[in-house]
Structure 1
């Protein structure tokens, strides 16, 4: 319905002003789609090396993960890699994790168990557990994953091993969520895709800003030379993304997106659990470098303005069809870019639902941002 309570000339000027802002938002969208994200679709992926050249340590933190360790730890322990150890930190568990690990240790000599006892005088939380695992690791190159994660193949460590270039100190891997039924699972997987799309594309562009602890690697010396997590130990999350944000740069960071080196992870099955997880991540994002916060905030704000102004323009007859044309062009361009990347990142089934999931994700991100302002307390399990 056209706005009739505004003077005709004024309404027309307002409509064209809003349409100009819509075009600006569209051009910014176009920049991210064609000059950032498309890089991930076009980058050449080299085959995984056939042999492991240097020893490495896998670090896993587990808190009440007896069931997941029983299911997934053997896949990690049986990797096709010549020289590696697996360090599992039992972080104050009471569900039988200790017994599961001790049973595996009898079968696998390269499994090392580190125990964090409840009531310790030290700081509790995942960052302390990760630090204990890193200290116990025997090798310089550290590969990280979680207890509820499953490497896509026996060649995972071959892909995540230290590259031949000694100046590479960080490797950012990719970790998709396992497909299950329901719209929540589709939203979780699409949000994971968008997060990976961003951090992998910007890493290719030369501006790495985060990684995910389910699948990443870095040098032990990099950790200790920068005093570990000391700068953000007070934040419950950020053992992965804040560390990368602080220390990754164009000269020391590489990515690994070969499908054999993906690490599948168990998704949340309730909206409340998923919301708690995203609140932890939102809290960590506040400590990103200013330029990274600006870029990530700009993406959300531009998307917000695009949809809000688009709805507003539906009220003006003069700009109704041009606005719909911009929306159509935006969908066509995005449907050209993103389904290709969805397929590359093991989410090919979502490409048919891309426009719908894109709008649902935007609504969720706005909702999560508002909730995170009022709900401050978060913790790791």
Structure 2
């Protein structure tokens, strides 16, 4: 019986290692030099009750070193002074265009409706999306993201991280989870199976948007304006990834666990609408991580070949550490790596809680 359990544990461990070997495709990849066409770009920002964040972060977009861009700022039925702040910036800089969205019964509090109106307002074909609480980490953000609109590429996946709060374990957890998600979607994209992107740093062409009829297939869902759109539209041939240090954006992270938990509930709720192959891959990654830790504990308690079991654990941790360290260096997240075994275990059980919570109560609209 003990030999049988050990054999199953080895099989589970091998599957876990295969997943992380696939992540080598991103963690060991280099940045390729690409010609820069400097295409005209429309930056699109959807803002709902974001007056303070717009004051703080819109200047970093206006300061971009790029010859031809406009900024479409959408006031999504805000209850604060968001519209007034946008108009103040517009009076200073004519590159800012305002879209003022009023709630209606058919699309009440639907970010996708607001984004659609913003996309229709854009005069340029190449669209670059970010959030009101985001700041590019370089004046070359537009240049590095748009550089990837090479012939045939209609979608560019970027990295949207979070600002660091020194001494906060929650902040490190949020940033580690963001790093792990990026490792996955960058790796799968490099392997020819892109499945998601993040709206904090995402680009695609208006032709791609209209060809897909926008968000029509999932307009009834509150979330998914970024990942569901990419999941439906992205292919091995039309999608590029961008992780140049100058292409990174950072956002204001949640400061309470409750707020972050509800944010994750919204994100996780749309994963069930991904393509079947992506659901299988993501579910498998989660299931085999759970099985590994449960069997590890069981085998050690039962004292079944403990030296072999601990040796397998060591191989797994070394492999994962290599992936995390290499990826974290690319994305400037090195301070979150050292606690990865604890964060990994915590996130496994958190995902289980989120899954059960979503079955009981569906997450609400985006803000």
TM-score tier after normalising by the smaller chain length: over 0.9
Aligned partners of 1:90 and 1:97 also within 8 Å: yes
**Corresponding position of 2:268:** 282
Question: For 1:120 and 1:378, how far apart are their aligned partners in 2?
Answer: 16
Question: For 1:375 and 1:327, how far apart are their aligned partners in 2?
Answer: 37
| Aligned-pair CA distance for 1:123 | 4.4
Work out whether 1:344 is the aligned partner of 2:327. no
**Corresponding position of 1:231:** 217
Work out whether 1:296 is the aligned partner of 2:282. yes
Question: For 2:235 and 2:31, how far apart are their aligned partners in 1?
Answer: 20
Work out whether 1:72 is the aligned partner of 2:57. yes
Question: For 1:106 and 1:287, how far apart are their aligned partners in 2?
Answer: 42
Work out whether 1:353 is the aligned partner of 2:339. yes
Matched residue SS, 2:270: helix
Tell me which of 137, 141, 152 is aligned to 2:122.
Answer: 137
Tell me which of 8, 20, 45 is aligned to 2:7.
Answer: 20
Work out whether 1:60 is the aligned partner of 2:60. no
Question: For 2:149 and 2:287, how far apart are their aligned partners in 1?
Answer: 40
| Aligned-pair CA distance for 1:329 | 1.8
| Aligned-pair CA distance for 1:115 | 0.3
Question: For 1:327 and 1:88, how far apart are their aligned partners in 2?
Answer: 49
Tell me which of 127, 134, 145 is aligned to 1:160.
Answer: 145
- Report the count of equivalent residues: 366
| Aligned-pair CA distance for 1:320 | 2.4
Question: For 1:42 and 1:319, how far apart are their aligned partners in 2?
Answer: 34
Q: Which ranges of structure 1 fall in alignment gaps of 5 or more residues?
A: 1-12
Work out whether 1:255 is the aligned partner of 2:241. yes
Aligned partners of 1:245 and 1:288 also within 8 Å: yes
Question: For 1:125 and 1:280, how far apart are their aligned partners in 2?
Answer: 13
Tell me which of 74, 87, 111 is aligned to 1:89.
Answer: 74
Aligned partners of 1:105 and 1:112 also within 8 Å: yes
Question: For 1:375 and 1:268, how far apart are their aligned partners in 2?
Answer: 21
Tell me which of 348, 361, 364 is aligned to 1:378.
Answer: 364
TM-score (norm 2): 0.96
Please give the residue correspondences for 1:130-279 in structure 2 after superposition, counting only pairs within 5 Å.
Answer: 130-161=115-146, 163=148, 165-180=150-165, 181-279=167-265
Cα deviation digits, residues 124-154 of structure 1 (max 9, x gap): 3111111111010111000000000000111
Question: For 2:233 and 2:104, how far apart are their aligned partners in 1?
Answer: 32
- Please, which moves more after superposition, 131-140 or 357-366? 357-366
Question: For 1:374 and 1:41, how far apart are their aligned partners in 2?
Answer: 37
| Aligned-pair CA distance for 1:273 | 0.9
Aligned partners of 2:173 and 2:336 also within 8 Å: no
Question: For 2:89 and 2:44, how far apart are their aligned partners in 1?
Answer: 16
Aligned partners of 1:48 and 1:258 also within 8 Å: no
| Aligned-pair CA distance for 1:117 | 1.6
Structure with max Cα Rg:
1
Assess, with a 3 A threshold, how the Cα gap between structure 1 residues 164 and 134 changes in structure 2: closer, same or farther: closer
TM-score (norm 1): 0.93
**Corresponding position of 1:9:** none
Cα deviation digits, residues 99-141 of structure 1 (max 9, x gap): 1111100111110000012346544311111111101011100
Question: For 1:200 and 1:182, how far apart are their aligned partners in 2?
Answer: 27
Matched residue SS, 2:70: strand
Matched residue SS, 1:249: coil
| Aligned-pair CA distance for 1:48 | 7.4
Assess, with a 3 A threshold, how the Cα gap between structure 1 residues 308 and 122 changes in structure 2: closer, same or farther: closer
**Corresponding position of 1:6:** none
